[in-house]
Amino acid sequence: MRLFSLRAGCALAAACYLLLTLIRSIPRDEVPPGPRDLPDMRTLFGRLVGAEELAGKVSKDLVSIMENLRSMSRAADFTHPTSNNTATTSLEAMRRHMDVHGRQMFLQPNIYFYMPHLRQHPDGLIPNVVLGQGRRGVSVVLGIPTVKREKQSYLVNTLSSLLYGLTSPQTQQLLVIIFVAETDADYVNSIAETVTKNFPKEVQSGLLEVVSPSRYYYPNFTSLKETFGDSKDRVKWRTKQNLDYSFLMLYAQDRGTFYVQLEDDVVAKTDYFHDMRTYAVQEASKPWLYLEFSQLGFIGKMFRTRDLPMIAEFFLMFHRDKPIDWLLDHILWVKVCNPEKDEKDCRDQKALLKQRYKPSLFQHVGLHSSLPGKLQHLKDKDFGKQNLYRAHNNPVAELSSSLKHYQQHSLERAYRGEDFFWALTPMQGDYILLRFPEPIRISSYLFRSGNIETIGDKLYNTTVEVLPSNAPVWDKPVTSSSSHLAELDNGFIVIGEFENGVAEGKIEEALQPVTALRLVVHSNSDVWAALSEILIDV
């Protein structure tokens, strides 16, 4: 109130100044005029009319100043309530804003209308960025909300599936945002630590981000109305899910061109990024609101980021009322359905705003739902079988290995591109040897371990070694680019190693032609090992 009194005093002082200006503006002579000097009645009347108009303007300006001061005072009370009628007076002030000329203005709706509890916490909308480099300008943003589950967590497997097989250029055009939808700081930090431990390079490069909401973001869920026969717990769960998805969309809206909504318990098909991006570019000229890369719920829905503010606002408007997938369908109805036409016409019009890609690129794998006590058995029938290996036309070679393969997953079949090699737990000193009948020139090599279903079965602490065709090569000077090479037993030279399950590179001219390639394991492993791709490029 002191602030209001001070501003009111300033307004009254301004009014006095204006009145004084008005008085001084009335013309007068220094010497009392004689009868011959008196102005005629028309001139005097004109001056009086001008003075009256100026006084009216001053009056309007004073009214405008007082109204603005009252609005500011009410807004201050709105932020720092002192009485029970604060909310009422604050809303009145927000609806009755005036411009500098005293004209009424409309205040545009914002998130505070849909989540009024945030008015008391201005920082409630500030995201807590735990991990992130602020990557922007990418082609695709993947949004993954994750929550604390009573049973099993699928997050690491989901991220491994999404990152598996990505090329270096693809990783530059991708951003994965993990939204930890919890306000428990210890739990949020534990997720960040898990992500950093399992994907250190992806975190360092800015490919992966971990964010969480402010502790003030969520409202009090105890007052929610039970609808559609859902229990109180389910209504709370679906309401919070609406808020989680809205938060993610608003956070991601300026980070890339396309946004894809996922969940924390899915697996992706190999080459999903290429297929998804290619289809989005192909359909770019069509007026779709979203593309579907899975038929289950909200999984695999792609939006243009420019549409996210509108979609998120719609979700926020009705976040207490219906599940997220129902609300998305309602957006389509509002946009294109004509109440004067039949349901078939409505379906046809909505179909124009969504395009379905087949086969599905994402499959739901989690059994235990984020809703406590719920088991989720849904599977996408259009997902089909995963491609667990990649075939290449490799040169003839004699194959041998100290690793024992599982069932039919032999090294010979993997080398021929008929299957993947799946071996029991590697131990220190185990090897895989490719010996060529005649020395050959090899331009590059690629060994990829693990696959979409055996993500963790990778080769760790394993080197790639080459055997040159003859020893005299090593009498020649070695270039600076070869300074990292180290000669091993039997003439084998280390030329590379596995990083995150993949070993790839070129073979230098000084080592050509090549008699053999060898993979050597240097420490005991805790898991099996799978080779899903072997490429010897000649």
SS3 for 363?
strand
The amino acid at 352: L
- pLDDT of 342 > 80? The answer is yes
- pLDDT of 437 > 80? The answer is yes
Instruction: Spell out where 53-137 has E strands.
Output: 128-131
| Least trusted range by pLDDT, from 147-161, 254-268, 346-360, 477-491 | 477-491
Q: Supply 431's token pair.
A: 């090897």
Computed on alpha carbons and rounded to an integer, the radius of gyration of the chain in Å comes to 35
**pLDDT for 48:** 66
**pLDDT for 71:** 47
**pLDDT for 480:** 35
> Nearest 5 degrees, angle CA 115-CA 121-CA 123?
105
The amino acid at 239: T
**pLDDT for 426:** 95
**pLDDT for 94:** 45
| Least trusted range by pLDDT, from 19-28, 86-95, 353-362 | 86-95
**pLDDT for 98:** 57
Please name every residue paired with 146 in a beta bridge, in sequence order, or none if there are none: 180
CA distances for 393 relative to 134, 530, 533, angstroms: 41, 19, 11
**pLDDT, the chain, mean:** 81
**pLDDT for 52:** 66
Mean pLDDT over 4-30 rounds to 54
Is residue 352 exposed (0-12), middle (13-18) or buried (19+ Cβ within 10 Å)?
middle
- pLDDT of 72 > 60? The answer is no
Mean pLDDT over 20-29 rounds to 53
- Residue 422 contacts by C-beta under 8 Å, 6 or more apart in sequence? 405, 406, 407, 409, 454, 457, 528, 529, 530
For the chain, the first-to-last Cα distance in angstroms comes to 83
Share of the chain above pLDDT 90, in %: 54
Share of the chain above pLDDT 70, in %: 72
Summarised one tens digit per residue, pLDDT across range 411-432 is 999 999 999 999 999 999 999 9
> Nearest 5 degrees, angle CA 486-CA 489-CA 492?
60
**pLDDT for 80:** 41
Q: Which residue has the higher pLDDT, 35 or 219?
A: 219
- What is the rounded CA–CA span in Å between residue 243 and residue 260? 17
- pLDDT of 381 > 90? The answer is no
Summarised one tens digit per residue, pLDDT across range 73-129 is 444 443 343 333 444 444 444 444 555 566 666 666 678 888 888 888 878 888 999
**pLDDT for 117:** 87
Dmax over CA atoms of the chain, in Å, equals 133
Contact 467, 515 (CB under 8 A): yes
- pLDDT of 245 > 80? The answer is yes
**pLDDT for 140:** 97
- pLDDT of 29 > 60? The answer is no
CA distances for 355 relative to 266, 286, 295, 358, angstroms: 21, 9, 11, 10
Summarised one tens digit per residue, pLDDT across range 183-213 is 999 999 999 999 999 899 999 999 999 999 9
Mean pLDDT over 299-313 rounds to 95
